[in-house]
Amino acid sequence: MSVIARLTAGRPEARRIAEFLERDFGEDGVAVAFFEAGQNWSVEAWFPEGTPETIATTVRDHLGADAFAAPIITETVPETDWVTESQKGLTPVVAGRFIVYGSHSRRHIPAGRIGIRIDAGQAFGTGHHGTTAGCLEILDQLCRSRRFHNPLDLGTGSGVLAIALAKLLKVPVLASDIDPLAIKVARENAALNHVGPLVRPLTAPGLHHATVRQRAPFDLIVANILAEPLMALAPQVTRMLAPGGNLLLSGLLPRQRERVTAAYQRQGLHFRGATIHSGWAVLIFARPAPPPEPYW
């Protein structure tokens, strides 16, 4: 039985606890996330095995003094065949409300889930990689609390994230990639998933394309590339993000998190949190919105 452990603390403690849990349990397949939750920060650690009691004890013992500052809530996560299969590394992959499946494993999509059909091919993004699955999970969470109207998927690969957004939000999604072959695949996949009219794939290095400039600013940008290009793209990406908009970055290792975060904070973005999925980090930022104009 899988168990999720949650605790809330101030930002420095939450961060320390998340890093601690990741370091000690990451290799056992424990996924750790920490993110802003109102006034505080929340840490979630997802244990593939255990009972709520044993996990609470394990976490409390590990945290020592920190555990007193942060009461630990544990609960079991109901397992379904889909989750079990994805844990075994078989298709399909479950991430948030999404299920990414290949045509050979096509089957009934359970109620409440959004199916995305992607065959392993010439473009990256079948959902199996921790970076893609991590992005899908966070996109699902972000879209639960907010409605986005104009998203950009930068480095779309197979188009998986753009397709997910089009299916979830039912709005036009711009999907760019430096590789023309990826764009061809993304276009085919969008059509196969019946979101061809919504997903607009285009070949562009970074954000250099007239259509990208025309459609900017975006209220949501997701970029699953790599740490170095992400840092180089920080000024351009920030310029294209609407005030109040959200940015998701992936394709980086936890040890690269500080440098990538600093590059985007230098551009004035607010760091909202990070998750670690199968050893890969996803970073979440927001562009601060200007204070409302006084009406007198």
Q: Which of 92, 157, 201, 273 binds ligand SAH (CB under 6 A)?
A: 157
Cβ–Cβ < 8 Å for 238, 246: no
Q: How far apart are CA 275 and CA 217, in angstroms?
A: 25
For 203, what's the count of Cα atoms within 13 Å in the CB-facing half-sphere? 7
Using CB under 6 A as the binding criterion, the count of chain residues that bind ligand SAH stands at 22
Does 156 bind ligand SAH (CB under 6 A)? Our answer is: yes
Q: Count Cβ atoms below 10 Å from residue 139 Cβ, excluding itself.
A: 27
- Residue 92, token pair as written in the block: 């399909």
The piece of 29-37, 94-102, 151-159, 252-260 that touches ligand SAH (CB under 6 A) is 151-159
Q: Which of 178, 202, 216, 286 binds ligand SAH (CB under 6 A)?
A: 178
Does 91 bind ligand SAH (CB under 6 A)? Our answer is: no
Cβ neighbours for 12, distance < 8 A, ≥ 6 positions apart: none
Q: How far apart are CA 173 and CA 195, in angstroms?
A: 10
State in angstroms the smallest separation of the CB of 124 from ligand SAH: 4
Does 134 bind ligand SAH (CB under 6 A)? Our answer is: no
State in angstroms the smallest separation of the CB of 122 from ligand SAH: 10
State in angstroms the smallest separation of the CB of 258 from ligand SAH: 21
Does 161 bind ligand SAH (CB under 6 A)? Our answer is: yes
* Coil vs helix vs strand at 60: helix
State in angstroms the smallest separation of the CB of 137 from ligand SAH: 12
Q: How far apart are CA 150 and CA 199, in angstroms?
A: 11
State in angstroms the smallest separation of the CB of 206 from ligand SAH: 5
Q: How far apart are CA 225 and CA 218, in angstroms?
A: 18
Cβ–Cβ < 8 Å for 161, 153: yes
Q: Which of 160, 164, 247, 248 binds ligand SAH (CB under 6 A)?
A: 160
Q: Which of 116, 127, 139 is nearest to 189 (CA)?
A: 116
H or E segment and range at residue 264? helix 257-265
Does 155 bind ligand SAH (CB under 6 A)? Our answer is: yes
* Coil vs helix vs strand at 257: helix
Sign of torsion over alpha carbons 35, 37, 42, 45: negative
State in angstroms the smallest separation of the CB of 132 from ligand SAH: 3
Query: Of 74 and 250, which CB lies nearer to ligand SAH in the complex structure?
Result: 250
State in angstroms the smallest separation of the CB of 78 from ligand SAH: 27
Query: What would the x/- binding string for ligand SAH be over residues 223 to 262, using CB under 6 A?
Result: -xx---x---------------------------------
- Which residues contact ligand SAH (rule: CB under 6 A)? 123-125, 131-132, 135, 154-157, 160-161, 176-179, 182, 205-206, 224-225, 229
